[in-house]
Amino acid sequence: MIERLETGARMSRIVKHNGTIYLCGQVCKDATQGIKEQTETMLEKVEALLEQAGSDKEHMLSATLYIKDMKDFAEMNAVWDNWVPEGHAPARACVEASMARDVLLVEISVIAVEK
């Protein structure tokens, strides 16, 4: 069975199937901020969605990060490294990408399992 949460015309924010949770791409709360703040608030949104779906950041399987400019890679990673629980790092990819809105500096897509 597939369960879709917060579904709109274009996408669902959460999709659950056989104990696996897929989050749509998440961006920051305030795009006027720098990479540090954008990364922090983006990860806060991920944490809230994982909780809503019955999971948490210790149960992440995979994360794909999209960063507008690799010059921000180290600063984004500093936030990421402080956020991911030790011993629970997911498989991860990070690519430089054009963003849907020019002010966005980072986006993430996450796959996790239920607790």
Amino acid letter, residue 7: T
In tens, the pLDDT along 56-78 reads: 999 999 999 999 999 999 999 99
Which one of the listed residues 24, 31, 94, 97 is annotated catalytic?
94
Which residues, in sequence order, are CB contacts of 72 under 8 Å at separation 6+? 35, 105, 106
Distance (Å) of CA 96 to CA 69, 70, 83, 107, 108: 6, 6, 21, 10, 12
| pTM to 2 decimal places | 0.95
Per DSSP, the residues of 4-32 read EEEE-SS-EEEEEETTEEEEPPB--S-TT
Q: Is 94 a catalytic residue?
A: yes
Contact in structure between 32 and 103 (CB atoms under 8 Å) = yes
In tens, the pLDDT along 17-37 reads: 999 999 999 999 999 999 999
What is the third-level CATH fold of 2-113?
60s Ribosomal Protein L30; Chain: A; (3.30.1330)
